[in-house]
Amino acid sequence: MSEEYKGGNTEIVSTNFIDEFVKEDIGPGGRTEGMQVHTRFPPEPNGYLHIGHAKAIYVDFGTAERFGGICNLRMDDTNPTKEDVEYVKAIKEDLHWLGYDWGDRFYYGSDFFEEMYQGAVELIEKGLAYVCELSQEQMREMRGDLTTPARSPYRDRPKEESLELFKRMRAGEFEDGRMTLRAKIDLASGNFNMRDPVIYRINHTSHHRTGDKWCIYPMYDYAHPFEDAMEHITHSLCTVEFEAHRPFYNWVVENVTLPSKPRQIEFAPLGINNTVLSKRKLRVLVEKGYVDGWDDPRMPTICGLRRRGYTPRAIRNFSERNGVSKAASTVEYAFLEYCLREDLNMTARRVMAVLHPVKLVITNYPVDKSETFTVENNPNRPEDGSREITFSRELWIEAEDFLSEPVPKYKRLYPDGPECRLKGAYIVKCTGFTADGDGNITEITAEYDPDSRGGDPADGRKVKGATLHWVDAGTAVDAEVRIYDNLFTVDNPEEGDFLDYLNPDSLEVLTGCKAEASLSGAKPGESYQFMRQGYFCADSKDNKPGRLVFNRSVKLKDGFKPGK
Ligand code: ATP
Ligand code: MG
C-alpha cells in the first residue's frame, strides 16, 4: 500500500478509493500484478442513458484511462423480455458524444450464452448446482429467515438426474416456471443471496439477438461475473446495491472454470434532486406522453441534456467533481447547471435577442438612417472575433425594461427616467409611450445622444440607468424560445408516486421573440449567450432554415456556490 504506483501511466489525475484498490492490485505482489487494467461499462439495452450512467461511465472508462488500461462496452442483454436494438444504437451514440471510445471491444452478454450453459453443467457435475422444482412462491415460502435456514426438497437430487433435467430444460420440454437451476451453496447463510440462488430459469421468449435458440436464460447474478471473466475484466465496477451480491460473484468466479478472475468493487450511485433517474420511470414519462420523447430537453437523459444544450465537457466535469465514494448522496441539479454555465461562459458567442418584445422608437434618429456597430463575439475569447449589428430608428426591447410608472429603485426606462445604455450602441432617455385600450404598451419613445456612439463605458460617460439589450426592428429575425423548468415539483420525486409530482409548468413556449440578424443562420445544436438572459441552444429537431427555435439551456445567474 505504501508503495508509489509505478505503472505505465504516471499521471493519475485524481485519486479515489477505487484507484487505491486498483493500485494495490496492480502493484508488486498484487492480485493482478503486471496486468493491464481492464474495466467495462455494462448497460442493459432497455432504455436511454441518463446522467447517473454518466457517472458509471466516468468511473469505468476513467479508471481504465488513469491507469493506462482499457474499457469494454457491453450490452447486458441476458434478460430477453425488455431489450431493443433502438437502445443499443442510442447508447453507442451517447457514449461517443460524451467522448468515450471502446475500440473493437464491444460485446453482448448473450455472446456467452453457450459458455454460461457449459459453466452451469460444470457446476452440476461438481455437485454445486441442482434442478429445483419449487415454484417461485414455494421458494419464497421456504426461504427461511435470519434464524431459520431455507429449504428445498430437491437439494440432494443426484447429479445425473439434474444434468438430465437441465438438458431437457434447454430442449424446451418444460413450460415457464416449472423448474430452475440453483447453485448449491448454503441454505443457512446470513446473506440471502447465498441461500442456493437460482442461476437459470425457463423463459419461452424470443431474444433480440438469439431469437428462439434459447428458452432458458441465466440470472443476472450468474451472468455478470461470467461475462466479466470471459472478457478478461480485471476490475468490475458497479453501484453499491450489488455489494451483497459480491459473495456470489466471487463464488461463481471461484467455482466455474473461467479464463480470468475479476474483482467487483462498488461505488455509490448518483442521485440528483427534482428528477428521477431510473430507466423504468423515465420510460413511463415517454410512453405516457408527459414529455416529447427520450430526448425531451427536460429529461435527465444524455440525449435530453444534449438537446437542452449541455456539452460533453460540462457533463464530464460534473461527474468528475462529484467524486467517487461508497456513501450515497444526492447532488443538486444546480451543480449540473453550474458546470454547464462555466463551460458555455468560455465558449458561447454573446448575442442579443428579445424574448418579450416591445417597440422602442428613437424619435430624434433619422427615419431612413441605419448604421452598423462592430461587437465582440466573446469577451472571454478574443480569437472568436467580432460581428456587425445594425441600428436604426425602431428597435425591439424587452417589455420588462420599461414601466409606465416607475417603482422604487427601478433603473430602466420610464418617462423622464434615467439615461440608459443600449448595449454596444447609444445612450437613450425615455420620453413617453403609447398604450392600447386595455393598457398594453404598444410603443415606447426615447431620444438618443448622438455623441454617445459606441456605447463603450470608456467614453467616460456614466449613466444612472441600466445597460439594456435590444434588436434592430429593421433587420430582426423571429424566433421561438422554449423555457424549461423542473420536471417535478418536489425535491425527491422517487418517494411516493413520481407522477403525482409532475410540474404542469415545466415548459413555456414563447413565440414572436426577436433576435439579431446574425442568428438567422443558427445551426441545430449551436449554443449562444443571449445577453442578460441566459444560454440558449438551437433545437436539434425543430430549428430549421427559416424557423428559429431555441431551448433555454440554463439561466445566467444562480444561487449555487461551489464548495458550499
Ligand atoms: P436504471 O435503474 O436506470 O435502469 P440500471 O442500473 O438498471 O439503471 P443499467 O443499464 O443496468 O441501468 O446500468 C449500467 C451501469 O450504470 C451499471 O453498472 C449501473 O450500476 C450504473 N448506474 C445506473 N444508474 C446509476 C446511477 N444513478 N449512478 C451511477 N451509476 C449508475
Ligand atoms: Mg440494471
pLDDT band at 4 (very low <50, low <70, confident <90, very high): very low
Q: pLDDT, tens digit, for every residue of 8-55?
A: 333 334 568 999 999 999 999 999 999 999 999 999 999 999 999 999
CA distances from 230 to 92, 450, 461 (A): 21, 77, 73
Interval 405-427 mean pLDDT: 95
Q: Is the pLDDT of residue 562 over 60?
A: no
Domain count, the chain: 3
Q: How far is the CA of 316 from the centre of ligand 2 (A)?
A: 22
Mean per-residue pLDDT, 241-257: 98
Q: How far is the CA of 141 from the centre of ligand 2 (A)?
A: 26
Instruction: Dig out the grid coordinates for 555 from the structure.
Output: 439561466
| Residue 559 CB neighbours (<10 A) | 7
For ligand 1, atom 23, the nearest C-alpha belongs to 53
Residue 272 lies in a domain: no
Predicted local confidence at residue 139, as pLDDT: 97
**Cβ of 363: how many Cβ atoms within 10 Å?**
11
Domain end, chosen from 410, 440, 469, is at 469
Nearest CA owner, ligand 1 atom 2: 278
Q: Does any domain span residue 11? A: no
Confidence at residue 2, expressed as pLDDT on a 0 to 100 scale: 31
Non-local CB neighbours of 25 within 8 Å, separated by 6+ positions: 31, 32, 33, 234, 235, 263
pLDDT at 560: 54
3-state SS, 5-44, equals: CCCCCCCCCCCCHHHHHHHHHHCCCCCCCCCCCEEEECCC
| CA of residue 145 to ligand 1 center, whole Å | 29
Q: Decide whether any atom of ligand 1 lies within 6 Å of the 53 Cβ.
A: yes
Q: What is the pLDDT of residue 496?
A: 83
Angle, vertex CA 408, rays to CA 402 and CA 414, nearest 5: 25
pTM for this one? 0.92
My answer on whether 32 and 171 are in the same domain is: yes
The answer to whether residue 494 scores a pLDDT higher than 90 is no
How far apart CA 351 and CA 471 sit, in angstroms, is 10
| pLDDT for residue 258 | 98
Same domain for 262 and 288, yes or no, is: no
pLDDT, position 12: 37
Q: What is the residue range of 508's domain?
A: 279-350+479-554
User: Do 361 and 346 share a domain, yes or no?
Assistant: no
In a domain, 374, yes or no: yes
Q: How far is the CA of 564 from the centre of ligand 2 (A)?
A: 33
Q: Which H or E element spans position 435?
A: strand 427-435
**Cell match 491507469: residue?**
67
Q: Do 192 and 78 share a structural domain?
A: yes
State residue 9's pLDDT score: 37
Domain final position from 469, 497, 512: 469
Q: What is the DSSP string of 511-546?
A: EEEEE-GGGGGPPTT-EEEETTTEEEEE-TTT-BTT
Top-confidence residue, 363 or 8: 363
Domain identity same for 513 and 544: yes
* Helix/strand/coil for 564: coil
CA-to-CA distance for 537 and 531, rounded, in angstroms? 13
In a domain, 228, yes or no: yes
For residue 243, the ligand closest to its alpha carbon is 1
The CA distance from 86 to 186, in Å, is 41
Query: What average pLDDT does the structure give for the chain?
Result: 93
Residue 525's domain is classified under what CATH number?
Answer: 2.40.240.10
- Collapsing DSSP to helix, strand or coil, 216 comes out as strand
Q: What is the distance between the terminal CA atoms of the chain, rounded to a whole angstrom?
A: 33
564 within domain boundaries = no
Can you tell me the distance from the alpha carbon of 451 to that of 436, in angstroms, rounded to the nearest whole number? Answer: 34
9 lines ligand 1 (CB under 6 A): no
| b/e 313-341 (16+ beta carbons within 10 angstroms → b) | bbbbbbbeebebeeeeeebebbbbbbbbb
Q: Is the pLDDT of residue 456 over 50?
A: yes
Counting ligands in written order, the one closest to the CA of 75 is 1
Pair 294, 389 in one domain: no
Task: Please state, for a pLDDT cut of 70, what percent of the chain lies above it.
Answer: 95
- From residue 339, alpha-carbon distances to 36, 56, 106, 298, 302 in Å are 33, 18, 31, 17, 15
Alpha-carbon distance 85 to 175, whole Å? Answer: 27
Q: Is 11 exposed, middle or buried (0-12, 13-18, 19+ CB in 10 A)?
A: exposed
pLDDT digits (tens, 9 = 90+) for 417-450: 999 999 999 999 999 999 999 989 999 999 999 9
Query: 372 is written with which cell numbers?
Result: 452598423
Same domain, 486 and 417: no
**Does the pLDDT value for residue 389 go beyond 90?**
yes
Checking if the pLDDT of 458 tops 60, the result is no
Burial 180-211, CB ≥16 within 10 A → b, else e: bbbbbbebebeeebbbbbbbbbbeeeebbbbe
Which parts of 89-176 are beta strand (E)? 106-108, 129-132
345 with 360, same domain: the answer is: no
Q: Which ligand is nearest to the CA of 88?
A: 1
- Is the residue at 121 inside a domain? yes
- Asked if residue 487 has pLDDT above 50, the reply is yes
Q: What confidence score (pLDDT) does residue 330 get? A: 87
* 480 phi and psi angles, rounded to 5 deg: -105, 135
Over residues 145-167, the mean pLDDT reads 97
Side-chain half-sphere CA neighbours of 240 within 13 A: 11
Please compute the mean of the pLDDT values over residues 193-207 and round it to a whole number. Answer: 97
End of a domain among 211, 239, 267?
267
Residue 506 has pLDDT above 70, yes or no: yes
Q: Regarding predicted confidence, which is higher, 15 or 276?
A: 276
489 in a domain, yes or no?
A: yes
pLDDT at 351 over 70: yes
Distance 283 CA to ligand 2 centre (A): 14
Sequence letter at residue 312: P
What number does the ligand 1 atom closest to the CA of 42 have? Answer: 14
* Residue 269 in this model has a pLDDT that exceeds 70: yes
| Ligand 2: centre distance to CA 267 (Å) | 15
CB atoms within 10 A of CB 167: 13
Residue 563 pLDDT greater than 70, yes or no = no
CA–CA dist 556, 528 (Å, integer): 12
pLDDT score of 455: 53
Instruction: Note whether residue 238 is domain-resident.
Output: yes
Average pLDDT in the 113-137 region? 98
Q: Are residues 346 and 384 in the same domain?
A: no
Atom of ligand 1 nearest to the CA of 45: 10
Beta pairing partners, 181: 131, 200
Measured between alpha carbons, how far is 365 from 125 in angstroms, rounded to an integer?
95
Confidence of residue 457 (pLDDT cuts 50, 70, 90): low
The confidence band for 557, taking pLDDT boundaries of 50, 70 and 90, is: confident
Could you tell me if the CB of 268 is within 6 A of ligand 1? Answer: no
84 and 155 inside one domain: yes
Q: Examine the domain organization and report whether 377 and 453 are in the same domain.
A: yes
Q: pLDDT for 51-106, tens place per residue?
A: 999 999 999 999 999 999 999 999 999 998 776 788 999 999 999 999 999 999 99
Per-residue pLDDT for 397 more than 80? yes
* CATH number for 79: 3.40.50.620
- Do 114 and 21 share a structural domain? yes
